[in-house]
């Protein structure tokens, strides 16, 4: 059974210390001027109410997109080989050290109040039940910033595809080939799909990971990676629901 477990207080602090001791890399996700961005980092040290991280590899462009007060989502895996669990939480930047190239710390973050543990099975891809054809509507999302530093989100034309498989981290869809089909790796897209009949539709943000024509040339298979789910309580509710969807599909397929 896929169940999300919450870690609080001493448990979450000990987990972060373990990540530091084992030098386990983590993934950051955050909304910047040009859309959702993903960076890699390592935890450096932990204090009473904060912990410090270092971006790896260190890129000036990444440093410039983050600022004090900004909320970011953090995720990492802990386990051995294929037997791992994934942990997610959101936090806020409380300090910057990016002006000093010799420091081992780039950002100081507030300790999270809680950390969610998601079993590995939630990240295994499952196909929709055989008798269910799940349509997926998706579209380009464009992020622009005006002279007042205000970000506006615009949407492109909506496309309809068919769900091939889904996990808590992404999905694969099949899209009929059209002359104006120009989805490519790194594109930001919005997604809307209803996992099962009579359920509430889900609205998600994703990035295109790949777009490969099928052998018969009739469709393009597009791999999508969910983004921003760790960066807010609302996003983590969607993440928990995706975990439940994976379990539902698995149970229906094996009933």
91 in any annotated domain: yes
Tell me the residue range of the domain where 72 lies: 5-123
pLDDT band, very low/low/confident/very high, at 146 (cuts 50, 70, 90): low
* C-beta of residue 235 within 8 angstroms of C-beta of residue 31: no
CATH of the domain at 11: 2.30.110.10
169 in any annotated domain: yes
The CA-based angle 98-102-103, given to 5 degrees, is 60
Residue 142 and residue 245 in one domain: yes
- Averaged pLDDT score across all residues of the chain: 84
Write out the two tokens for 109.
């973050």
Helix then strand then coil, in percent of the chain rounded to 5, is: 20, 50, 35
Residue 161 and residue 70 in one domain: no
* C-beta of residue 206 within 8 angstroms of C-beta of residue 225: yes
Residue 201 and residue 98 in one domain: no
Say whether pLDDT at 147 is over 80: no
Q: What is the pLDDT of residue 120?
A: 77
Pairwise CA distance, residues 180 & 182, whole Å: 6
CATH of the domain at 208: 2.40.10.220
Phi, psi of 24 (to 5 degrees): -80, 130
**Lowest-confidence segment of 74-83, 127-136, 241-250 by average pLDDT:** 74-83
130 in any annotated domain: no
Residue 103 and residue 210 in one domain: no
**What average pLDDT score do residues 38-53 get?**
91
Residue 52 and residue 106 in one domain: yes
128 in any annotated domain: no
Pair type for strands 50-55 and 35-46 = antiparallel
- Total structural domains within the chain: 2
List CB contacts of 28: < 8 A, sequence separation 6 or more: 38, 39, 40, 41, 53, 55, 72, 73, 74
pLDDT band, very low/low/confident/very high, at 201 (cuts 50, 70, 90): very high
How many distinct helices (H) and strands (E) make up the chain?
3, 14
* C-beta of residue 223 within 8 angstroms of C-beta of residue 209: yes
Say whether pLDDT at 152 is over 80: no
Residue 90 and residue 139 in one domain: no
Which helix (H) or strand (E) segment holds residue 70: the answer is none
99 in any annotated domain: yes
Pairwise CA distance, residues 70 & 30, whole Å: 8
**What average pLDDT score do residues 92-107 get?**
74
**Lowest-confidence segment of 15-29, 51-65, 152-166, 234-248 by average pLDDT:** 51-65
Say whether pLDDT at 1 is over 50: no
Query: How far from chain centre, in Å, is Cα 5?
Result: 18
13 in any annotated domain: yes
Residue 49 and residue 116 in one domain: yes
pLDDT band, very low/low/confident/very high, at 26 (cuts 50, 70, 90): very high
Can you name the residues that pair with 240 across neighbouring β-strands? none
Residue 101 and residue 13 in one domain: yes
Give 118-163 as a DSSP string.
EEGGGGS-BPPPTT---EEEEEEEEEEE-TT--EEEEEEEEEEEEE
Residue 93 and residue 156 in one domain: no
């Amino acid at each position: 059974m896929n169940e999300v477990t919450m870690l609080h207080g001493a448990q979450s602090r000990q987990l972060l210390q373990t990540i530091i001791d084992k030098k386990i890399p983590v993934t950051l996700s955050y909304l910047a001027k040009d859309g959702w961005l993903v960076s890699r980092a390592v935890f450096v040290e932990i204090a009473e109410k904060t912990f410090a991280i270092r971006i790896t590899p260190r890129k000036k462009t990444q440093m410039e997109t983050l600022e004090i007060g900004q909320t970011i989502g953090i995720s990492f895996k802990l386990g051995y080989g294929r037997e791992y669990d994934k942990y997610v939480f959101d936090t806020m930047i409380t300090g910057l050290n990016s002006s000093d190239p010799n420091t081992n710390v780039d950002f100081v973050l507030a300790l999270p109040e809680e950390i969610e543990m998601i079993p590995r099975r939630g990240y295994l891809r499952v196909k929709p039940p055989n008798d269910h054809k799940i349509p997926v509507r998706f579209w380009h999302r464009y992020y622009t910033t005006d002279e007042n530093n205000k970000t506006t989100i615009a949407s492109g034309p909506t496309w309809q595809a068919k769900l091939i498989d889904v996990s808590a981290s992404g999905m694969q869809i099949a899209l009929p080939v059209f002359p104006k089909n120009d989805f490519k790796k790194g594109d930001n897209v919005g997604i809307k799909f209803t996992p099962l009949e009579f359920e509430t539709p889900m609205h998600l943000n994703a990035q295109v990971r790949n777009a490969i024509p099928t052998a018969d040339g009739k469709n393009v298979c597009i791999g999508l990676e969910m983004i921003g789910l760790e960066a807010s309580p609302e996003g983590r509710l969607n993440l928990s629901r995706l975990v439940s969807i994976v379990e539902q599909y698995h149970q229906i397929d094996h009933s």
